[in-house]
Structure 1
Amino acid sequence: MTTQAPETKIVEKSKIACDGGEGALGHPRVWLTIAETEGSVECPYCDAKYVLKGRDAA
């Protein structure tokens, strides 16, 4: 059995909401803020990575 890598999403705003995106199988909605110095943030529930457009995803 293999585990899928967390999804990386490119976003245009530094404040975003994540709910797991799977309807009832998702997770509680959380609001995440991308720090200007970091350029990305990971959801503490589903590990999805949100990258500010124009920044490196690494």
Structure 2
Amino acid sequence: ACMIGDTTFDMAMAHAVGAHAIGVGWGYHRHEKLTKAGAARIVPDFFALRAALREFGPSPAHA
């Protein structure tokens, strides 16, 4: 599982349930805070999100 979020709360939630945490660069909290909160990666825009998700494997619809 992977949590995509724009706040430190999202990163904490991801870690609480054992999911990967991806921070987005267009939201409420700054990159530094997201990284410190445990984001494995920060994506700069929506288009970079697809590539980041591919790192975790194919989606069930494409497996």
TM superposition score normalised by structure 1? 0.31
More strand by share: 1
TM superposition score normalised by structure 2? 0.29
